[in-house]
Amino acid sequence: MDERQLEYFVAVAEELSFTRAAAKLFVVQSTVSASIRALEHSLDARLLQRTSKSVNLTEAGRAFLPEAKAALDVLGRARATVRDTDAGLRGALRVGTLSGMTALNSAAMARRFAQLHPQVSLYLETSPSGSSGLLDKVRNATLDVAFVSVASPSDALGVEPRSLRTLPLRVLLPPGHRLSTRKSVRLSDIASDPFVDMPVGFGIRTLLDDAFRRARLTRSISVQAADLTTIPDFVAAGLGTAVVPDMSRSEELGLTSTAITGATLTWTLSAVVRAGADTSRAARALLELAPTFLSDRPVY
């Protein structure tokens, strides 16, 4: 097994096509095919299921893919370590963050990192599937660092979270709500309300689903919004109640934010890296930089 075989396998696995993988790698298809066969022979396992019309990963191939990516990542970091002893950081850094979040100024952090380490190729993305999508990408070595909510013990599997900020969750009530004069409410008080919430897989949705389940309460979702910062607008339109961290948008709309009693619900922003992986110097530099770009205000 060698590095080129791993590169060819990852390319085919991502493209699910020998033709597209060969074009991506600027080699002829026969070279890719021969390399994959040699890799399968060395592992004594079929990694790809080939037909005349399609290419798919076998069970062994799916298990091997994240390990192949991780091995290539280790080799890349090893080369970078040798190259840049005194020349500053080099290489590539792939980072994921949550859409619409202001608790961490991701754009300003990325700009400052690029200024400090111009020889590092920085890639930044937000996830349409929230924290769960970013966590999966860290686990399979597609991302080096992600800024997410680790909402349950299962979220922490395969990653190492480093807590950056914790915010209490509060009930956001629509105008004229029957509980708007209360200083605090219980989950049972609002369980019958229609809810504005995030899709399944997002950290806050996981927290709330677990909290209502523990309290043996059920609720109905009237609106799902992938961008947390838009939830106050739906609440202001009278479409439902929400449980969210304090947000500047809620204040702008004049919505009532009420404390929760009888349950401790908090949202924690964490920086995560892959568990057991050798964190690169570039990733460590970003982790050290991140706390300086946390918002001065206790809002999402």
Do both 75 and 144 map to the same domain? no
Bin 136: left if φ > 0, else alpha if -120 < ψ < 50, else beta. Answer: alpha
Would you say residue 298 lies in a domain? no
Mean pLDDT of 166-191: 93
The confidence score (pLDDT) of residue 278 equals 86
CATH of the domain at 29: 1.10.10.10
The tokens describing 297, both together, are: 């205000």
Do both 259 and 200 map to the same domain? yes
Mean pLDDT of 248-252: 78
User: What is the DSSP-derived secondary structure letter of residue 282?
Assistant: H
Total tally of structural domains belonging to the chain: 3
The confidence score (pLDDT) of residue 99 equals 80
Would you say residue 300 lies in a domain? no
Do both 122 and 137 map to the same domain? yes
Do both 67 and 107 map to the same domain? no
Question: Whole-model pTM?
Answer: 0.66
What is the rounded CA–CA span in Å between residue 185 and residue 170? 9
CATH of the domain at 138: 3.40.190.10
Query: What is the CA 118 to chain-centroid distance, rounded?
Result: 25
Task: Give the DSSP letter string of 104-135.
Answer: B-HHHHHHHHHHH-TTEEEEEEE-TTHHHHHH
Do both 156 and 92 map to the same domain? yes
Do both 284 and 156 map to the same domain? yes
Do both 124 and 48 map to the same domain? no
Give residue 86's pLDDT band: very low, low, confident or very high (50, 70, 90): very low
Ramachandran angles phi, psi of 38, nearest 5°:
-65, -40
Do both 157 and 281 map to the same domain? yes
What is the rounded CA–CA span in Å between residue 108 and residue 163? 20
What is the domain extent for residue 41? 3-80
Buried b (16+ CB within 10 A) or exposed e, 142-177: bbbbbbbbbbeeebeebbebeebbebebbbbbbeeb
Do both 50 and 122 map to the same domain? no
Mean pLDDT of 126-136: 84
Do both 263 and 179 map to the same domain? yes
